[in-house]
Amino acid sequence: MSLGKELVGLQYKPLFQKPKSLNSFEIIHAPHVTSDAGTGLVHLAPAHGAEDYNAFRSFETSNRGSNLLCHVDDKGLFSPDVTEVVGEEGAMALVGRDVLYSGTKTILPLLKKWQRLVRTEKITHKYPYDWRTKMPVIVT
């Protein structure tokens, strides 16, 4: 088994990439990601939180300085912008669904259909909650 730090610098292809696309991304270190609160390996969502945004901005990448695309609207629902990433079929299933609940239940069968799902497992980790509503917070 590899340590997370051994993965830094390796390249990967994102799940929602057209098969013939040559785009790949680099695994980076983010100080706020630790193995004591989950797997120690996470995706960054720089448009959705300060820690992810800061990790993204601190990494020298060809995307540096570009506008971040946010696929979630102010109500926590997938917006039509998600089409850019998941294509027409994925967008038809996802647009208008909430990110944390029905969106997750919708995206898993899509990943399986596209043969990009290896397995699923529930992992409990820290997540920000609104102290008034007791609902998860989505930063957009």
What's the pLDDT tens digit per position in 52-94?
777 777 775 544 555 677 888 888 899 998 888 888 888 999 9
In a domain, 77, yes or no: yes
Quick one: pLDDT band at residue 130, thresholds 50, 70, 90?
confident
Q: Is the pTM of this model over 0.75?
A: no
In a domain, 14, yes or no: yes
What average pLDDT does this structure show over 117-136?
79
Read off the DSSP letter of residue 132.
T
Q: Which domain holds residue 48?
A: 7-113
What's the pLDDT tens digit per position in 41-54?
677 777 777 777 77
Instruction: Give SS3 for 4.
Output: helix
In a domain, 118, yes or no: no
In a domain, 119, yes or no: no
* Phi/psi at 61 (5° precision): -140, 160
> Residue 124 above 90 pLDDT?
no
In a domain, 104, yes or no: yes
> Residue 18 above 70 pLDDT?
no
In a domain, 131, yes or no: no
Half-sphere exposure of 101 (CA within 13 A, CB side): 7
In a domain, 137, yes or no: no
- Say what percent of the chain tops pLDDT 90: 9
In a domain, 130, yes or no: no
What average pLDDT does this structure show over 26-33?
76
Share in percent of the chain as helix, strand, coil (round to 5): 30, 5, 65
Number of domains present in the structure of the chain: 1
> Residue 19 above 70 pLDDT?
no
Distance CA 10, CA 26 (A): 6
